[in-house]
Every structure is written in structure tokens, then in C-alpha cells.
Structure 1
Amino acid sequence: MRITRKAAGAAAATVAVALTLTACGGGTDAAEPGSAEKVSTDEDITISLAWWGEPARAEMYEEAVDLFEEKHPNITVQTQFQDWDGYWTSRATEAAGGALPDVIQMDLSYLRQYGATGQLLDLDGQSGVNLDTGGVDDSLLASGQIDGSQFGVPTSTNTLATFYNADLLKKVGVEPLAEGYTWDDYSEWIQEVTEAGAGEDPALYGGTDFTGTFWFFLQWLIQQGEEPFSEDGELNFDEAQLTEWLNLGQGLRDSEAIFPIQKTKQLEPLGGFHVNQVASESTWDNFLAGYVAESGEDIQMLPIPSGENGPAQFWKPSMLLSASAQTEQPEAAAALIDFLINEPEVGKIFGTSKGVPAVQAQIDAMDVEPGSVDEQVVQYEEDVTDVVTEPAPVPVEGFGEIEAEFKRLGEELQYGNVTVDEFVTQWFSFADGAVKQS
């Protein structure tokens, strides 16, 4: 664990990690909007803030917290950060003991696991008093809700994009995809690029096996008019739907038109798109900076393929901020979340390092240089506003486990070690035991 200067000497001794959360008596009662009191400006208050990330992010958070403390001189914020894996291990330990930090950086994949088990504060009571969420898009804000209660507020947005390397496409004489293309169109285009790039050294591939990514499957379901998860936190799709999805990539796997899994594993943590051996990649739009830095090429973005109901994309919060249900200072915790969400200077500090800020005032405050990656990401999200029509699915409890198993089986499918039917059977068997009921 990395403890910053403000929390020096305040960390508790490490205890054995409880990887499964213990529900806290069924959760908190629903908060009446605006029922909280205004945060005190007289008494001395100390709250804690935790996030995952590298030292560069920590410097940004420290700068933002300094500004908050200047505006709230009676509030001291103790801060700590860790890498992704260590962060969630520590949170699980704290949750088991009812001792989460007052304010925690939350990921959508874990929101239900913590929010539906009584670990997070229902922020509705703070709304309009210490917390203003009026600047956050309604569909984005909904991604932080469970059963209508607000357990997390998005700090920033991203959405899916198909990246393509314009320089490589010129080299092999293939035109980029046209907007409005379908998943079948994408598969045919990957095949075309791979055939055109077969004579290059090294060979150029059109893309990777997109069917092995769980979030793409969820996006495809939404495009079919299906909600991936039910309101009570259960899977809302069946084996036939998963089979149909995986079969979208079977022709590419059979013809060896996708970047080989063996090469993918050799390159990790980079991928074929980073090293200019793959012409396209579909993922979250805030990956652009890494792609540009590693490839050195002209990288462009398009909306992802369309389904039966069009693109039907959703804003996914790249991260959220939540408060502990056990906090002794809910008003101060909400005030800190409000500051980090809305304060323009915070937008200037973070830029698009966490995604595009969720509030326009922070976007306006960013020092965006013409032609920069920040400008390109912001422009992309403005351009796709019309196709981002759906709320992000709130993951079920146990989401992280089933997502990891989906990835593992996707790799086995590419190796040829399992068939589509075996993938489906094994994954559903795993998911039946991993998805925890609220």
C-alpha cells in the first residue's frame, strides 16, 4: 500500500484478506433527497480518501485535495493509493470489518458488490445539500445507481470505439470502415485487411478476436434490445445468445484472419495494435493516448459496429466516487465528492487522464492543445453523442470473476483448446457459482 504524506502514521495494521464481502445487515435505508444537513464549517473534521493508480495520479489527487482543504479549512483529508490488485484486496478486508475509507474511488465492475451489500452510502440524501450532480448526464449518472439509489457518482466518461491505424491501411491499400458498419461488416473487413497484409514483414492482420471480450458481448446484447443483467442482480441472457455471439468470430478463427493468440501473449502487456501488426482494435476511447505513444502512427476512431438497434452505445464511467456507509462524516464525504466532480480546477489538474470529465465545467477548464490526444478524445465523445443512447449495465455481484473467466476461455478458444459449445457450457457453469445474489 502506498500511503501519502497526509496519512503517514494513520494506516492500520494489515490483516488477513477476506476476498468475499460480508453483507452488513441488508444495507442502508433509502435516503430522502436533500435530507442531509449542510457540512459544518466550524468543527474540525478528518476524512479519508483512497484510490487506485500510479504515483502520477497520486500527485494529481494531492493537488486537488490541497485545493479542497483551502476551501474547507476545517476539513483534513487523509489520502492513500495502491495499484489495482492491491487496492481491491485492501477494500475487501476493510469491508469485512465495516471500515472502508470515507471516500473511495469505485469501479463499475465492483459497484454492486459493495453497494448491494450495505457497504456504500446512499448519496441521495446529500443531493442538493452537499452534493450537486446536476451537471452529470442522466444516463451516465444512472450507471452509479442500484435499485434507484445513488451509490456512486461518475468522475469521467468513456465509451467504446474502434481504433484503426490509418498509416497501415494506406500501406496495404484498404479503405477504413464506413460509419454505420455492422459486426458482420467488421468481420469481412478484418478478413480483407489480413489478406492484403499477408505479404508484409511481419504480416499485418485486420484485427483481433473481439468475441473474447466480455464488455463487447454485453454491448452486443444491448444492441439486440436485451438488458444483460436483471434488476435483482442475475444474468439476463442465455446460452443460445452467448453461442450466437461467439460464432460471430468463428469464421475469422477458422481462416486464421485474426492476430494469433501466441503472438498476443508474447507481446503482453502490449498488443498487436500497439506494435503496428494489427490494423484495428476495439476498446475504451481513453486508450488512445497509449496507442499513439506506442505505435507512433496516425490512429483514428470510429463508433463500434452496429447491431439490430443501431450502435446503441453507452457511457461507461471510467471510475466513480463513493462514500462508506459507515462514515461518521457523511456530509464532509459528500462535499469532497462534489468538489472532485464539479470544481473546474480539478478538471484542469486531471485532464483526460481518468477519461473525459463528467461535468462540462471541468472540460472547459482543461488546457487542451489543438491536435492533442485530449482534444481527439473529447471530440470523439462529442461526435458519438447521438449513438450513445443506452445506460451502462450495472454489473452483477461477482462481475470481476466472471469477466476474468470469459477472457480465459476466449484465449482457450483461440488456441483451439475448446469449442464454442464447450466455452458456453464451462462459462455458465462457472458463472452459476460466481454470481452472488443481492
Structure 2
Amino acid sequence: MFKSHKRRAFSVAAILMTSALALSACSGGSGAAGGDTASTYDPDEKVTLNLAFWGNDVRAAFYEEAIAAFNEEYPNITVNSSFLGFPEFWEKRQTEAAGGGLPDVMQFDYSYMRQYSENGLLLDLDPYLGNIIDTEPLSENILGIGVVDGVTTGIPTSTNAWAMYQNPKLLDQIGVEAYEGGGSWDDYAEWMQTATDAGEASGIYGGSDWGGRIQNFELQLRAEGSFLFSEDAEPGFDEADLTKFWEESAPLRDGVVIPQQRLEEVYPLAGFDTAQTVSELTWDNFGAAYLGGLGESYTELGLVAPPVTKEGAKDLYLKPSMLHTISAKTEHPEAAATLVNFLINSPEVGAIFGTSRGLPASETQLEGAKLDGLDAQIRDYEESIADRLGDAPPVPIIGAGTLEEKFRQIGTELGFGTMTVDEAVDQFFNEMDVVLNQ
């Protein structure tokens, strides 16, 4: 039974801290499999697994369909699933990690991989690779994404890239031409102002504040030849860089983008999938969820490259849109690995999800995806940005997820006007000092 949690957490009181995870790790989870080799799952063994993921009702329906397909092949494995919005999902995982009770199988974000892996909270999947988990459809590069300190603790479901979605139906309604993609950040801001002015009578805005997403900051840093964090957790920016970023996005919050209060009212949906904004900067796999939120009258979306700080920059990159992991304390590692294999490799799952999790990483799942419509758009988009694709950053540092969430929270405060840019920079660097030095 799927439960939707739509109450906004206005502040995240419980930030995921390494100390809590380390304490949990010391209480019994080693992060290793129970034996030297994994045996194939016994189909006669009746077990129950808990599966947790973040998302919305659209993704929940996809998982429900995938679980039904899984149970046709493995009727003795009962899968209980649950989902939350992204911030709340990680709050709950923090609580579970501290108490030693993570779900058996988890949809996992790349930014938390190092933190949970190094604290022994995720099962070592290496003993299951090549037997329970089929690795033939997965390239070495894909498998390498889930390796932390030489141990495989996650399997990517798919890849995605940063992009800009647009709503052609709303653009036609307000009489504004689509943004062509690329261009400068000033070009995009001017276009959003034009759209907001044209949509004023209808309550339609050009977009949302890009200053609230750390990915847009990273994009600008990469265009300048820098980075967010190195492999050794050294930041590639200083206070002046972050001040510049938030000051340059400040004019957007003065009548150009959708007001923060309106975003609070529709959460966990966004301005884009409630037909209040005509554009959104986000990961390219969000399209299916957007169409689901917009309703049956919306059948297509525009998908173009985000603005670029310097022409010719290698600022974009492909990343795992998500991974699947298993708790180190699961009582049923073989059954859990069987579920992960199905969710990663099954052509049926590919047909169900399409590109809603990104382009499938598994060849067999990609074959089942039947890419057309939006799915084909995403494939074509990732091919179109080949000249802007640079090397992916290293596995995110411990605390990357915490810092991303803090960045989002500060963006909300800036949107409400309850914090100055200087206060925002001080608060983020104070949080960063805690995370990097604990």
C-alpha cells in the first residue's frame, strides 16, 4: 500500500551526521555479506522485504507495477514499499540508521553513497555480482559508479544530466516563444521576465529561482574550471564565489520568478508541474513526473540545455540518477539482491519506468524501455549535449547530501526574504565547516 506524505518540512531539524551513522555502524552492521560467496535465492523460501524510495504518486504507481511483475516471478517474496519527498526520505533514513533499522532495499542518491558506505550501513554487493545480480548488461563504468573504497555498495539504475524543461502549452497560452537553450544566465533571466510579464493575468511565471539549487552553482563553477568538492573534500569555491552566485540570482526574487509562498502551497509538487511556471532547471529524468503532475491535457514538454557561463565549457556531466542499495543488516540478503537485480535489469521494469529514472543503465532494461515521446526526447537530449559533457565529479564527499539540503533550505529563506545574502553565505560556510571537519 502506497502512502503519500505531502506535508512540507519547513525546517530539517535532524541533519544526517556522520557521528550518528558511525554509532549505528558500531552496533553491528559491517557492510559485508554473510559469507564469502552468495547463493542463488531459494524460491521456496517465504520472506518479506521493505523497499523505500523517494518520489511522488507517479513514481509510486511505477514501483507498484514493477513489484507486481516481480511477484509473478518470485511469488514467495513479499515487498512492502513506502515513499516520501526527497528531504523527508533522508530524515527518516537518518533516524533508522541511528537505530539500526534501515529498509532492506533502498532507492539511493549518489550524494549519500560515501557517507553510508564508509559507515558500514550498506551491504557489500560484490559476492552477488555475476550470480544473483546479472552484470553482463552493465558496463564497467556503470558498475564503477557504485564502488566506494573498493567495495560495491550500490548499482545505478540509470544516468541523467542537468537540463531545462519547458511547458509548450503554457507558452502558447501566454504567447511567448520557447527558450532556445544554452545562452547566458542573463539571457535566461530576461526570457523569464518576458514570460512572467506575459503571464501576469493568468498567474503564470517564467520559472523558479535558480539560486536555490546547488546544481546550478556547481554548473557555474565547472564552467570556470572549478568544482564543488574534490576527492579529498576540499571545496572548489570560497565565500566570494557563493556571494556572487546568490547576488546575481537576487533580482529574480523581485517579481521575475514564482514567489516562494506559492511553492510552499503546492509542495511536494513544484511550480512547473502545477502549471504555474513555464520552465524549470532540473535533472532530465523528471519529465515523466512533471507530465503526471500536469495531468492528461498535457502531452509534451520542451527539453533544452541550461544556460552556460562560458561558451565551450565542459560544465555538464552524466551522473547516476539514482542507485539501489541493500541494508548491511538485512536478514534476507539473497532475496534483497534478487529484487535489486530485477529492478536494475528487468526489461519489464524498463517498459514501466521508461526514462523516469533517467536513461536505463542496463542494456536489457534499455531494450525494454521502448523509447518514444518524452523518453526519446531525453535520449536525444543527452546526445545533443555531448560537446558540453565533461568528466563526472568524484563520488560525493561525506555530508554532500546534508550540504545540498542546507543549500535548498537557504534558498527557501532567500526566496521568502528572511535572510540576506551575507547571512546566507555565513550560514552555509558554518554548516560546511561542521560537515567537513567532523
Aligned with 2:74: secondary structure?
helix
1:412 aligns to 2:417 (yes or no): no
Aligned with 1:249: secondary structure?
helix
TM-superposed CA distance for 1:234, in Å, is 5.8
Amino acid at match of 1:417: T
Distance 2:432 2:214 in 1: 13
Aligned with 1:184: secondary structure?
helix
2:317 paired residue number: 314
- Give identity over the alignment, percent: 40
Distance 1:169 1:42 in 2: 53
Aligned with 2:422: secondary structure?
helix
State which drifts further: 114-123 or 409-418: 409-418
TM-superposed CA distance for 1:50, in Å, is 1.8
Q: Is the 1:140–1:315 contact (alpha carbons within 8 Å) kept by the matching residues of 2?
A: no
Q: Is the 1:63–1:349 contact (alpha carbons within 8 Å) kept by the matching residues of 2?
A: no
Which string of whole-angstrom CA distances, capped at 9 and with x for unpartnered residues, describes residues 59-97 of structure 1?
Answer: 224224324527xxxx74554434357755654454335
Distance 1:290 1:104 in 2: 20
Correspondences of 1:111-126 after superposition (within 5 Å): 111-126=113-128
Distance 1:124 1:236 in 2: 33
- Rate the CA distance shift 1:67–1:353 in 2: closer, same or farther, 3 A: farther
1:363 paired residue number: 366
1:425 paired residue number: 426
Q: Is the 1:165–1:279 contact (alpha carbons within 8 Å) kept by the matching residues of 2?
A: yes
Q: CA RMSD in A?
A: 3.9
1:218 paired residue number: 218
1:145 aligns to 2:174 (yes or no): no
Distance 2:79 2:114 in 1: 26
Q: Is the 1:143–1:393 contact (alpha carbons within 8 Å) kept by the matching residues of 2?
A: no
Correspondences of 1:150-189 after superposition (within 5 Å): 150-170=152-172, 174-189=176-191
Distance 1:231 1:431 in 2: 16
Correspondences of 1:351-390 after superposition (within 5 Å): 351-367=354-370, 370-371=372-373, 373-385=374-386, 387-390=388-391
TM-superposed CA distance for 1:118, in Å, is 0.9
Amino acid at match of 1:288: G
2:71 paired residue number: 66
TM-superposed CA distance for 1:163, in Å, is 1.4
1:337 paired residue number: 340
TM-superposed CA distance for 1:162, in Å, is 0.7
2:10 paired residue number: none
TM-score normalised to the size of structure 1? 0.77
Amino acid at match of 1:63: A
Larger radius of gyration: 1
Distance 1:265 1:433 in 2: 28
2:6 paired residue number: none
Q: Is the 1:164–1:280 contact (alpha carbons within 8 Å) kept by the matching residues of 2?
A: yes
TM-superposed CA distance for 1:424, in Å, is 0.4
Amino acid at match of 2:350: G
Q: Is the 2:147–2:154 contact (alpha carbons within 8 Å) kept by the matching residues of 1?
A: yes
Distance 1:222 1:139 in 2: 22
TM-superposed CA distance for 1:327, in Å, is 4.5
1:249 aligns to 2:255 (yes or no): no
TM-superposed CA distance for 1:174, in Å, is 4.5
Distance 2:408 2:223 in 1: 21
Q: Is the 1:314–1:388 contact (alpha carbons within 8 Å) kept by the matching residues of 2?
A: yes
1:14 paired residue number: none
TM-superposed CA distance for 1:153, in Å, is 0.7
- Rate the CA distance shift 1:290–1:58 in 2: closer, same or farther, 3 A: closer
Q: How many residues are aligned here?
A: 413
Distance 1:436 1:63 in 2: 45
Aligned with 2:390: secondary structure?
strand
Aligned with 1:282: secondary structure?
strand
TM-score normalised to the size of structure 2? 0.77
Q: Is the 1:18–1:93 contact (alpha carbons within 8 Å) kept by the matching residues of 2?
A: no
Please, which runs of 5 or more residues in structure 1 have no aligned partner? 4-16
Distance 2:15 2:224 in 1: 38
- Rate the CA distance shift 1:134–1:40 in 2: closer, same or farther, 3 A: closer
- Rate the CA distance shift 1:270–1:340 in 2: closer, same or farther, 3 A: closer
**Aligned partner of 2:61 among 56, 62, 71:** 56
Q: Is the 1:311–1:387 contact (alpha carbons within 8 Å) kept by the matching residues of 2?
A: yes
Distance 2:402 2:278 in 1: 30
Distance 1:392 1:242 in 2: 19
Amino acid at match of 1:83: L
2:395 paired residue number: 394
2:305 paired residue number: 303
